[in-house]
A and B are shown apart, each in its own frame.
Chain A
Amino acid sequence: MIEFRRVSKVFDGGEKKVEALKEINITVEKGDIFGVIGFSGAGKSTLIRTVNLLEYPTSGEVIVEGKDLAKMSEKDLREAKKNIGMIFQHFNLLNSKTVFDNVAMPLLLGKKKKKEIEERVNEILRFVGLEDKAMNYPNQLSGGQKQRVGIARALATNPSILLCDEATSALDPQTTKAILNLLKRINEEYKITILIITHEMEVIKEICNRVAVMEDGSVIESGNVIDIFARPRTETTRNFIRSVVRDEVPSSVYGLLNEDAYFSRIFKIDFLGLSSGQPIVSKTAKRFNVEINVLFGNITELQGIPFGNLIVEIIGNEDEIDRALQFIKNQNVKVKEVTKDGSKQRAHFKRLVGNAVHG
């Protein structure tokens, strides 16, 4: 568990003072995969560095597994750091040493016995899938393999916490996925609490269960990933979510809005949870005398729960469309009509009210 209690950090660059962190309060629970997302310069790198005191907070406390590392002696601090693994964007491996020696390094520093080191290093290299690369040098490896070495090195001392500093930012999308899967396995199999900082919402979406959004040195939003995705409160968060789940109506859809909207109307259906898209669409089409045409869709999964939106065209007579719409609404999804006018998406209730009076 990591608790940030009113953590502030000011970099004193002579005349110019930079407030990198402003009264940060976050709690990372045991077993969490906690993501901190923000643009560069938001302070997230500084934040993660206060956990193992690569940066000392100017004020406030960071409590790691119940202890305030800043109050420890140098010796105790070094010991405590063995319980906190860290991986980096640029891997920071020793190019002069083999994969084996890189992974063995933290154990060597801890003056462990040679046999013990050998067993542990081989075990952990097997876990990350690099047992056949033990005698290679880092510059003979791909980016993904280098990060696996970084992970193996971070796990060598059996830490209870793993800090990931933009660990996938230098990797291609496919390798990123593989590394994220590995991190998830580490979290599940070794019960290691993971704190990740990133500027990629993809990372949060893929593996985090909790997230904090940082901007300008402050946490502007935090909570369960599902809650944040479903109900973002700030524009920054909405922008990050849009980077993985498109929610704007594509212009081709607007092109389809024709004059005789009487027989055809276009709706955007937002999903979260069990009421996943396809059953609703097919059920509605079966139950009512309407045709439903899926124009556009973007559905993803957050911790096994479907999340996203569908843009559908419902074709039929007006009453039937209204009834179908009411049915869809009752499935506990958000429905908005796509209209041509300036507001882009007019809340459909206006039309509904009108129709209700009409009917």
Chain B
Amino acid sequence: MEVSKELILNALWETLYMVSISLFFGSIIGIFLGILLVVTRKGHIYENRFIFSIVNPIVNIFRSIPFIILLVAIIPFTRLMVGTSIGTTAAIVPLVLHIGPYISRLVENSLLEVDEGIIEAAKAMGATPIQIIFRFLMPEAFASLILSITTATIGLVGATAMAGAIGGGGLGDVAITYGYQRFSTITIFVTVLILVIVVQGVQSLGNIFERKIRRV
């Protein structure tokens, strides 16, 4: 059977919707936790063993749960958050919980790349810890953060393919239900092609921004 154009477009829209909303909230959580992971570590500006030793394993736990498991494991929590456990919106909750900790690790890496001399200079100037984070660390890591977010976005595109398991829809779902289960090779081909284009687009966009920021 043939898959209609509307069906594909609708699925594309669902994918973009899931990716963008969960990227937005995931980034907020991820950047916050990433900063926390950096500044509370030993010898850093807000050294705090207690906070670090709580945040670090929590991030690890979420990073180690396969997304398909996370999707179904937190259904009660999802219902609590958005009032339903089925559908595109419901898929956003596990997507955020999946991508947030992932972004936090990427942010952590980006911030740790900033030369320690910059922090030393900031301290010598009498900068407050908040000023060190937002006026020194973040601007210096910005280009690297853009690439991190790009990587996370592409990871999200992949994760949304599993959202079909809880009725989230999207291109991945179409590929499985129409392409795989109904033996429509053309459907698989078209959806994969669209996914490739989306990923390429996101990566190119990320690279352009990053290069613009680094001025190369």
30 A-B residue pairs with Cβ-Cβ distance under 8 Å, sorted by A, are: A52-B124, A54-B120, A54-B123, A54-B124, A77-B126, A78-B128, A81-B124, A81-B125, A82-B125, A84-B124, A88-B120, A90-B115, A91-B117, A92-B121, A94-B136, A94-B139, A96-B140, A96-B142, A96-B143, A96-B213, A97-B139, A105-B125, A106-B125, A109-B127, A109-B131, A110-B126, A137-B215, A153-B121, A153-B125, A163-B124
Q: In the complex, given contacts A92-B117, A109-B125, A153-B121, what are 8 additional A-B residue pairs having Cβ atoms less than 8 angstroms apart? A: A77-B126, A78-B126, A78-B128, A92-B115, A92-B121, A93-B121, A95-B140, A153-B125
Question: If A96-B140, A109-B131, A109-B135 touch, does A88 touch B121 (CB 8 Å cutoff)?
Answer: yes
Interface flag for A347 (CB, 8 Å): no
Chain B residues positioned under 8 Å from A106 (CB to CB):
125-126
B196 within 8 A of A: no
Look across to chain A and name the residue whose beta carbon is closest to the beta carbon of B121.
Answer: A92
How far apart are B75's CB and chain A's nearest CB, in angstroms?
43
Residues of A within 8 A of B131 (CB): 109
How long is the Cα–Cα vector from A153 to B120 in the complex, in angstroms? 14
> Which residues of chain B have C-beta atoms less than 8 A from A84's C-beta?
124
Residues of B within 8 A of A301 (CB): none
* Interface assignment of B118: CB less than 8 Å from any CB of chain A: yes
Chain A contacts for B120, CB-based, 8 A: 54, 88, 92
Residues on A lying within 8 angstroms of B by beta carbon are 52, 54, 77-82, 84, 86, 88, 90-97, 105-106, 108-110, 137, 139, 153, 157, 163
For B139, what are the chain A residues with a Cβ–Cβ distance below 8 Å?
94, 96-97
Residues of A within 8 A of B117 (CB): 88, 90-92
CA distance A14 to B123 in the complex (A): 26
Residues of chain B at interface, number, CB under 8 A: 20
A109 to B122: give the CA distance in the assembly, Å: 10
A79–B126 touching, CB < 8 Å: yes
How many inter-chain contacts with C-beta < 8 Å in the A-B complex? 61
Beta-carbon contacts of B128-146 to A below 8 Å, as 1s and 0s?
A: 1001000110011011000
Q: Within the complex, which residue of B115, B135, B143, B215 is in contact with A105, where a contact is CB–CB below 8 Å?
A: B135
A110, closest chain B residue (CB): B126
In whole angstroms, what is the CA distance A93 to B117 when docked? 9
Query: With the chains together, A69 CA to B136 CA distance in Å?
Result: 24
In the assembly, what is the distance between CA of A84 and CA of B124, in Å?
Answer: 8
Which residue of the partner chain B has the closest CB to A108? B135
Q: Cα distance A54–B128 when bound, in Å?
A: 13
Query: Are the CB atoms of A82 and B126 closer together than 8 Å?
Result: yes
Residues of the B chain whose Cβ atoms lie less than 8 Å from the Cβ of A153: 121, 125
A81 to chain B: closest residue by CB: B126
Q: Is the interface of B mostly helix, strand, loop or mixed?
A: helix
Q: Which residues of B contact A80 (CB under 8 A)?
A: 126
Closest to B124 in A: A86
Cross-interface CB contact of A92 among B118, B127, B142, B213, cutoff 8 Å = B118
CA distance A54 to B117 in the complex (A): 11
Minimal beta-carbon separation of A265 from chain B (angstroms)? 56
For A83, the closest partner residue in chain B by CB is: B126
Smallest Cβ-Cβ distance to A78: which chain B residue: B126
* Assembled-state Cα–Cα distance A77/B125 (Å): 10
Q: How far is the CA of A93 from the CA of B121 in the complex (A)?
A: 8
| Residues of chain A lying within 8 A (CB to CB) of residue B125 | 81-82, 105-106, 109, 153, 157
Cα(A90)–Cα(B124), bound, Å? 15
Contacts of A52 in B (CB 8 A): 123-124
User: Which residues of B sit under 8 angstroms from A95, Cβ to Cβ?
Assistant: 140
Q: In the complex, A94→B131 CA distance in Å?
A: 14
With a cutoff of 8 Å between Cβ atoms, the chain B residues found around residue A92 in the complex are 115, 117-118, 120-121
Kindly provide the distance from the CB of A76 to the nearest chain B CB, expressed in whole angstroms.
10
Could you tell me the distance between the alpha carbons of A52 and B125 in the complex, rounded to whole angstroms?
9
In the bound complex, CA of A38 to CA of B139 (Å): 36
Interface code B80-91, partner A: CB below 8 Å = 1, 0 otherwise? 000000000000
Q: Which residues of A contact B213 (CB under 8 A)?
A: 96
Q: How far is the CA of A82 from the CA of B127 in the complex (A)?
A: 10
> Which residue from chain A places its CB closest to the CB of B115 in the assembled complex?
A92
Task: Write out the residue numbers on chain A whose beta carbons fall within 8 Å of the beta carbon of B135.
Answer: 105, 108-109
- Residues of chain A within 8 A (CB-CB) of B215 are 137, 139
Residues of A within 8 A of B143 (CB): 96
Nearest chain B CB to A78 CB, angstrom units: 4
Q: How far is the CA of A80 from the CA of B125 in the complex (A)?
A: 10
Q: How far is the CB of A171 from chain B (nearest CB, A)?
A: 16
Q: Mark B185-216, 1 if CB is under 8 A from A, else 0.
A: 00000000000000000000000000001010
In Å, the complex CA distance between A137 and B212 comes to: 13
Bound form: Cα–Cα A95–B126 in Å: 20
Kindly name the residue among B118, B126, B139, B143 whose own CB sees the greatest number of chain A CB atoms within 10 A.
B126
